[in-house]
Amino acid sequence: MTFSNSAELLSFHWVAYSIYAAMIISVVAWFGYNLTRKEAKSVFRIPFYWYMAFLVAGGVGHHIFTYNTIPWVSQDIDRHNIKADATYEFEIENHKWIGLPEKVVVQCGQTIKFDVHSRDLVYGFGLFRQDGSMVMQMQVNPGTDVNGILDSNDILWTFNHNGSFDLTSTEYSGPDQYTEDGKDLMLVKNLVQVVGCNKGGKK
């Protein structure tokens, strides 16, 4: 079981957690039913406790056995051995992006390194699909190293689905990011475009 992007992962967890929530609700219903019985029988207690143990084991086991199927987990752990196909560097100051290219075109399956530097505040770096769902994000902290060079905030990401993705800050850094009518001044439409994937994802 593998997931090529966060949308696939979200769909899987939606189904898994819906089933798990229904099972949790059934525990409450089971417990309530036994409270209303005039004569409680001990025979109901043994399967109840076994059921509870099953739910605990299932909840923990779900995360243990699926964490490594999340595409960015293994990549982040092993990132020191991964060479990015391309690197894009940006700076942020006074709620404005500095050095943004007009368009970032990514071929399907490429691993891209986004290296972002803040000159003043804590910002975020987030890519979003056209339906508003998030592809990925990271926090961008300000500061400089001992040589006075701006600290790096970077993330590796492998793109396996075609699409055009919007960029904006995902951290609240004050009201200056927005106009009085709520327009996001740090929103850059269609900055990243991924091409070359088939309909099912990947090449």
Give the pLDDT of residue 145: 78
Q: Give the residue among 119, 88, 117, 116 at the shortest CA–CA distance from 104.
A: 88
- Distance between CA 125 and CA 127 in Å, rounded? 7
Residue-wise pLDDT for 36-90, tens only, equals 777 655 545 667 778 888 888 888 887 777 766 666 677 777 888 889 999 999 9
- Name the pairing type of β-strands 123-128 and 111-118: unpaired
* pLDDT on residue 40: 58
pLDDT value of residue 110: 92
Q: How many Å apart are CA 55 and CA 165, to the nearest integer?
A: 38
| Regions in the chain scoring below 50 on pLDDT | 43
Q: Can you give the pLDDT at residue 46?
A: 62
End-to-end CA distance of the chain: 18
